[in-house]
Amino acid sequence: MWKTQTPKWVKNYGLSTMVAGFVFLALPIATDASDFGDEMLTEGIEDTHVEELQNLLIEEDQLEESSADGVYNNATTEAVKSFQEENDLLADGLAGPQTLGALKVLEEGDESALVENLQETLEESGHYNGNTDGDFDEETHEAVKNFQESAGISVDGLAGPKTFGALYYETEAIEEELEPESELETGTEEEIEEPQEESSEEGTAEETTEETTEAENEETSTETTEETTSTDNESSSENPEGTTYQMEATAYTAECNGCSGITATGKDLRNDRNANVVAVDPNVIPLGSTVHVEGYGEAIAADTGGAINGEKIDLHVPTQEEATSFGRQNVEVTVLD
């Protein structure tokens, strides 16, 4: 289920847009960023927006033309995943604002809720200070170029796959840019350590004695330490069970603006308004995990959201009043299993 949190990546569009689409059914569908409706596109949905998504996937050679039937089936899910993987996006098979924007390639002159989401994300990253009104104007164009330059990717002012990948999920271009900094830091530490060895004779003798004692102790416990370290590393990297995070929390309801009521794992929250369900970043907390959220209690990580990246969490509550009242808080989240 797509939750818009503060960003509202999709707005309701008038009937005239849909009517105009039916007039040209005999022709290839002209997809525009504003064509996408107010739902998160997920497997099982059947409407014209899915057909528009499928046509974009066909243009990217990710989907066979025979599959463009307006039904978000398994073939569509796999095509979306393939596109996401190729462009360093979160490969979850869900068509949210990042994936839709990357497929469309947003540019100056576009006006849509996808542009508004882009503006809000650029604002959060410190590259945009203008109005988040969904109008891809000159200021937005310059903000995109500014971000592209800082990310080390092609600077053209077009918000396409590489830009969305870098903006939301740290592409290889950003990682390569950071590698020299790591090498520099390592070298600096070595240079600092060398003068410490040139101490007085008394200090050197004391250090030598301490090192000898430490070496003897290490010899008797090396195997145990290595085994323990290996086990700890495997546990922390493969399973976050028992891990506690400090997270930024927001709240949402099953019928909020931009919500379908169906979670990413298929749970219908409209039939269970009191369900303790949270939306998480699957790269941090795997879907299906049981978590304990400070002030909220135990819950199931059964949902995702385009704005829920990294150490952020979105809590399902029964009413919009409760969601609004909750606002934005910092909470402690512990993964139980």
258 near 2, Cβ under 8 Å? yes
175 near 129, Cβ under 8 Å? no
Q: How many domains does the chain have?
A: 3
Whole-prediction pTM value? 0.42
Q: Are residues 257 and 325 in the same domain?
A: yes
144 near 129, Cβ under 8 Å? no
Comparing CA positions, the residue from 323, 309, 305 lying closest to residue 264 is 305
Say what the alpha-carbon torsion angle 66, 9, 14, 158 is, to the nearest 10 degrees: -70
Structural domain for 261, as ranges: 242-336
Burial class (CB in 10 A: 0-12, 13-18, 19+), 60: middle
Boundary residue ending a domain (85, 102, 119)? 102
Question: Does residue 58 have a pLDDT over 60?
Answer: yes
Read off the tokens for 255: 């019928």
Q: Are residues 121 and 155 in the same domain?
A: yes
Biggest CA-to-CA distance, the chain: 91
Distance CA 272, CA 85 (A): 34
| Residue 54 resides in a domain | yes
Distance CA 148, CA 44 (A): 36
Q: Are residues 304 and 291 in the same domain?
A: yes
Boundary residue ending a domain (70, 87, 102)? 102
Q: pLDDT per residue over 269-324, tens digit each?
A: 888 889 999 999 999 999 999 999 999 999 999 999 888 999 999 999 998 888 88
Query: Which CATH number covers residue 84?
Result: 1.10.101
Q: Are residues 55 and 141 in the same domain?
A: no
Read off the tokens for 147: 């971000």
Q: Residue 123: which H helix or E strand, with range?
A: helix 113-124
Read off the tokens for 166: 């870098």
Q: Are residues 273 and 315 in the same domain?
A: yes
124 near 130, Cβ under 8 Å? no
Q: pLDDT per residue over 124-166, tens digit each?
A: 888 999 999 989 999 999 999 999 898 888 899 998 888 888 8
Question: What's the confidence (pLDDT) of residue 246?
Answer: 94
| Residue 196 resides in a domain | no
Taking the CA atoms of 53, 58, 61 and 67 in sequence, report the sign of the dihedral they define: positive
Q: Are residues 129 and 52 in the same domain?
A: no
Query: Which CATH number covers residue 119?
Result: 1.10.101.10
